[in-house]
Amino acid sequence: MASTLNMFIYFLIFPGLLFTAVVGLLTTWVDRKVSARVQWRVGPPWYQPFADILKLLGKEIVIPEGAKRTGFLLAPMAGLAAVTVVSMMLWLANMQGVGFVGDLIAVIYLLTIPSIGMIIGASASSNPLASVGASREMKLILAYELPFVIAIFTAVSKVSPMSLKLEAILEHQAANGVLLGHPSCIIAFIVAVLCMQAKLTYPPFDIPEAETELMDGTHMEYSGPILGVVKLTQAMMLFTLPVLFITLFWGGLQFTGWGLLYTIVKYVLIVTIAILIKNTNPRVRIDQAVRFFWGPVTVLAIIGIILALAGL
């Protein structure tokens, strides 16, 4: 009974929903503030993302005529639940060494569920522009998933004996130094950051939600609290993916003394790289994105894994 209660607290409060939502929303504020400073503006105050979410909670939900209600309303919830579980698994592996064999595979597939939820929700909304957005999102998933998985398996293959457990990767790094010290893992890290850009649908890969030609694409028909759920899922993804990369490549999260500060610096650094890529690149077309990920990025990822197997 006590362990069930603990699991509920883990899921709903500390590493799970509430904590991830608060830190994720603060990160979206960092995103908006840094974007504003890059564009020589002042930018919003720190509470801006919270005001946005609170406002959306008080608005009406408009369901378009001809939409499939169940799919339209439940798909974003599935995304929110999936990203909460990923965040919980990563933090528990970092804090207490809790995990199971193959939890890395679970993390990889749970991380695609928010995108798949958006595809289902946009297809159920019976809006032609939203379904164009859904089809673009589908192509984008096909494009980035392959290099992303190869990059993660580069980290796995550096660990001896090879293990698909997050905890084993963390223990290896605690004993032998961080994986970013190896050339193969530096390549894998670059590939992973590029894939993160596409997973978050940030520019230059914001093709599914192009504001100018698709009017927010996959999010177009969502309004009120359900749009709040969509925005919250994006914010939580922005928090979860850097934590995943820190866990895999950069020695994990530390919570004592200077380690805590070092962890925050690592996190902010990865987020800032993503924001700077976002602000300095125009949107590409979907065919250019697929060619980019299946061409140079996959080749880079394969070079990385060959180097890793060669022992570099």
Rg (CA), the chain: 19
Question: 153-192 mask for another protein (x: CB under 8 A)?
Answer: ----------------------------------------
Regarding 30 and contact with another protein (CB under 8 A), the answer is no
Q: Which of 40, 257, 258, 311 binds another protein (CB under 8 A)?
A: 40
Smallest gap, in angstroms, from Cβ of residue 150 to another protein? 35
| Per-residue buried b or exposed e for 62-101, using 16+ beta carbons within 10 Å of the residue's own CB | ebeeebeeebbbebbebbbbbbbbbbbbbbbbbeeeebee
Place of tokens 């883990």: 10
How many residues line the site for another protein (CB under 8 A)?
36
Q: Which of residues 190-219 bind another protein (CB under 8 A)?
A: 211-212, 214-216, 219
CA distance linking residue 54 with residue 200, whole number of Å: 22
**Does residue 47 belong to the site contacting another protein (CB under 8 A)?**
yes
Residue 84: which of 240, 192, 267 has the closest Cα?
240
Nearer to another protein by Cβ, of 44 and 71: the residue is 44
Are 302 and 229 in contact, with CB atoms under 8 Å apart?
no
Shortest Å distance, C-beta 221 to another protein: 6
Among 22, 23, 26, 36, which residue sits at the site for another protein (rule: CB under 8 A)?
A: 36
Return the DSSP state at 33. H
Residues numbered 213 to 272 that lie near another protein (CB under 8 A) are 214-216, 219-224, 227
Q: Is 41 in the site for another protein (CB under 8 A)?
A: yes
The Cα–Cα gap between 85 and 110 comes to 8
Distance CA 162, CA 156 (A): 6
Q: With CB under 8 A as the contact rule, which of the stretches 51-59, 160-168, 199-207, 287-295 interacts with another protein?
A: 51-59
Judged by the rule CB under 8 A, the positions of this chain that interact with another protein are 32, 36, 39-45, 47-48, 50-62, 211-212, 214-216, 219-224, 227
